[in-house]
Amino acid sequence: MAMADSKHEAQIPAPEPAKPDAVRAPAAAEHLRAPEPSRSDKPEPLLKAPTEPKQLAPPDVVTFRDVSKSFGHGAAAKPALHGINFTIEDLPYVGELITIVGPSGCGKSTMLRIIAGLKPHFPPTSGEVLVLGKPVKEAGPDRGLVDQKYSLLPHLNVIQNVAFGLKLRGVRRSERLDKAAEWVKKVGLDGCETKYPSELSGGMQQRVAIAATLILQPRILLMDEPFGALDPGIRLRMQELLIQLWNEQQSTVFVVTHSVEEAVYLGDRVFLMAPNPGRLVDVLKVPRPTVPPEEYRRKPEFINFCQGLLRRLEDESPVGHGMKV
C-alpha cells in the first residue's frame, strides 16, 4: 500500500491490522473459504505435478498513481488534488471500508468523482487511475456514487426514484418495483413511497438517494457525506445498515465524512487529507470493534483514536478544518 507521509503516525494510539472480527466479519462468507488441508493426512508428493495451473491474484480494486487534478487553464489553473497515490487491494470475501476526512476544499469529492469517472473531475490532469485492474475511461455499473447533493429526479416519486437505475438496466417493472419497495423499507421510508422529492426533508431525500444507489449493488460504493443531513438516531441506523450491507455484499466502500467519530467507527482505513493543494497525507488503519456498537463507542481506545485523528487534522490544517468528533 503506497501512502503519503506518515510522520505523525505515532500520535494515533495502538493501530492494529484491519482484520475482520466477530462484529464486522462477513459471517456468510466464512463457509465459502476452502478448508485448510491438514498437513499430516497429505503426504508431500515426491515429484510436483508439472502443469498445475497458477491461481491469478485478483486485480486491485482501486489504484491511484500520482494523480493530480487542476481546474482552469494556464495561469488561472487551480490545483484541486496533487500527487495522490494509493492502492486498495481486493481482499477476498471481505471488502474494505475506507473513510475520507479532511477540511472543505481538500479534494475529497474530486477524488470520489474521479473514481466514479464523472466529469468535470474526471479525467485527472495527470496520473493514472485503475479500477479492478483497468484504466478508468468513464462511469460504469461497477461503481455507484451517492452524491453530496443527493440529486433525485424531481418528477419521479420515491419508489420510482429508487427503481430508476434498475429500469435503465432493463429489469422487469414488477421486479424492480418490488425490490425498490424493499429498499425504501430498509432506509426507513415506508409510507413515503408515492411522495415526490419536493415533499421530503433533506434527510429523507438523502435516504432515497442512498437506497437508489445501494439497490444496484455496485462492486465499489462511493458515498460523499452520505449521512450529513440525518438526525443522530437515523444516522446511527444508516451506519448500521451500511455495515450490514457491506458485510453481505463484500463491496469496497469509500465514505467521505465530516465526523471523526463516524470515520473511525466505520473505517477499516481512514484517509487523512489536507488542502492547498489537496493531498493525501496519511492512511490510518483502525482497530476493529470486538464489542457491539454502543459499547465500542464508549471504549477508551475508540475515544483515544478519535482524539488522535482530530489532533492530526488540526496539525495538517490548523485553520478551520471543520471536523468534529
Residues that bind Mg ion (CB under 5 A): 108-109
Residue 278 contacts which entry, Mg ion, ligand ADP, none (Cβ below 5-8 A, type-dependent): ligand ADP
Task: Tell me the C-alpha distance between 76 and 275, whole Å.
Answer: 18
| Contact with ligand ADP (CB under 6 A) among 99, 110, 160, 259 | 110
Residues 31-70, mask of contacts with ligand ADP (x by CB under 6 A): ----------------------------------------
Q: Which residue stretch of 44-52, 103-111, 130-138, 156-164 sits at the interface with ligand ADP (rule: CB under 6 A)?
A: 103-111
The angle that helices 202-214 and 158-168 make with each other, rounded to 10 degrees, is: 30
Query: Are the CB atoms for 252 and 96 separated by under 8 Å?
Result: yes
Q: Which residue stretch of 7-15, 105-113, 162-170, 300-308 sits at the interface with ligand ADP (rule: CB under 6 A)?
A: 105-113
Task: Tell me the C-alpha distance between 242 and 235, whole Å.
Answer: 10
By DSSP bridging, strand 143-146 and strand 134-135 are unpaired
| Contact with ligand ADP (CB under 6 A) among 12, 97, 106, 145 | 106
* Shortest reach from residue 71's CB to ligand ADP, in Å: 3
Q: Which is nearer to Mg ion, 69 or 186 (CB)?
A: 69
Query: What residue has cell string 444508516?
Result: 238
Q: Which residue stretch of 6-14, 88-96, 100-108, 281-289 sits at the interface with ligand ADP (rule: CB under 6 A)?
A: 100-108
| Contact with ligand ADP (CB under 6 A) among 71, 191, 194, 244 | 71
Q: Where are the alpha helices (DSSP H) in the chain?
A: 27-30, 108-116, 158-168, 173-186, 202-214, 232-249, 260-266, 293-298, 300-316
| Contact with ligand ADP (CB under 6 A) among 68, 82, 101, 107 | 107
3-class DSSP assignment, residue 297:
helix
> Which residue from 255, 260, 231 is spatially nearest to 245, judged by alpha carbons?
255
Q: How many residues does the chain have?
A: 325
| Contact with ligand ADP (CB under 6 A) among 17, 120, 154, 292 | 120
Q: Which is nearer to ligand ADP, 109 or 160 (CB)?
A: 109
* Shortest reach from residue 202's CB to ligand ADP, in Å: 18
Q: Which residue stretch of 107-115, 125-133, 234-242, 307-315 sits at the interface with ligand ADP (rule: CB under 6 A)?
A: 107-115
By DSSP bridging, strand 220-224 and strand 143-146 are parallel
Question: What letter would DSSP give residue 102?
Answer: -
Query: Are the CB atoms for 275 and 105 separated by under 8 Å?
Result: yes
| Contact with ligand ADP (CB under 6 A) among 20, 127, 197, 278 | 278
Query: What residue has cell string 496520473?
Result: 127
Binding site for ligand ADP (CB under 6 A): 71, 80, 102, 104-110, 120, 278
